[in-house]
């Protein structure tokens, strides 16, 4: 039996569609069916169900709101909720797949990409709570996969691509930051890797997964809007202030993932496929 938390979210929905294609049965929950911040309720639900695998997709992801108005909620879901799921998973004998973020890093590494065992130092509340979630999983469990990802986009939710496309409908010119670098990640690629580690019985531990190649947000936006008449102009982070500080260079090394034999499309390939599928929706 498989349990998905956050099954109505951008990643959870993608994962459900993938499991449907594979004809794999699962139970999908959202906050209405399973409130992970309710410790006793979560323990009861999971220990009675006894899932072999839990894909823990439920998370608070509004990065800027997490800095102030939703700081408490961010902590409650990403830290307490993850701890509750991990404790119940251990009691039920489940394998846990926890999704984390490149925001656990500060983006100040001088050379090369971030390795899975590099020192963490989150710059914002969201990164801090996701890191505490990682630590809870590692402290409580032995049978776990922590998958850090970045710049996530998918058909089934709000994301940077849809924001750019929406703005392009009403603007001739857009400005996008050109001094923050990372790796875009298609939810399809991420969902495929989540199922891959289970199917291949990969060694437990921490992995990095995003699409291959890296870019700035400006370069990403240029590619998204290349077939439109909109002018995309680069600006600095200082010219586009946000509540939450983002790491400037959070490019994660993917070699541990590719060493398993998992083939990762480039972000350009993933984006092209995403745009093709999104146009049919």
**CA distance linking residue 26 with residue 132, whole number of Å:** 27
Residue 126 annotated among the catalytic residues of the structure:
yes
The active-site residue, picked from 126, 207, 218, 249, is: 126
List phi, psi (to 5°) of 5.
Answer: -95, 150
- List, by residue number, the catalytic residues: 126
């Amino acid at each position: 039996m498989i349990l998905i938390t956050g099954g109505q979210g951008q990643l959870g929905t993608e994962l459900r569609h993938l499991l449907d294609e594979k004809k794999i049965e699962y139970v999908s929950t959202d906050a209405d069916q399973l409130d992970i911040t309710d410790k006793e309720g979560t323990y009861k639900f999971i220990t009675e169900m006894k899932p072999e695998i839990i894909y823990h997709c439920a998370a608070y992801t509004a990065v800027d709101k997490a800095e102030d108005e939703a700081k408490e909620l961010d902590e409650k879901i990403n830290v307490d909720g993850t701890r509750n799921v991990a404790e119940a998973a251990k009691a039920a004998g489940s394998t846990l797949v926890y999704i984390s973020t490149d925001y656990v890093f500060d983006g100040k590494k001088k050379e090369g990409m971030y390795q899975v065992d590099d020192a963490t130092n989150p710059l914002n509340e969201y990164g801090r709570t996701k890191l505490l979630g990682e630590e809870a999983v590692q402290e409580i469990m032995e049978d776990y996969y922590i998958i850090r990802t970045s710049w996530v986009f998918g058909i089934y939710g709000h994301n940077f691509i849809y924001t750019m496309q929406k703005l392009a409908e009403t603007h001739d010119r857009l400005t996008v930051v050109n001094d923050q670098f990372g790796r875009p990640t298609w939810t399809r690629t991420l969902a495929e890797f989540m199922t891959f580690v289970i199917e291949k019985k990969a060694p437990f531990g921490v992995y990095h997964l995003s699409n291959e190649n890296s870019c700035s947000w400006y370069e990403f936006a240029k590619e998204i809007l290349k077939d439109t008449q909109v002018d995309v102009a680069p600006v600095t982070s200082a010219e586009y202030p946000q509540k939450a500080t983002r790491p400037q260079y959070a490019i994660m090394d993917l070699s541990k993932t590719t060493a398993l034999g998992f083939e990762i499309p480039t972000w350009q390939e993933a984006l092209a496929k995403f745009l093709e599928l999104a146009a049919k929706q």
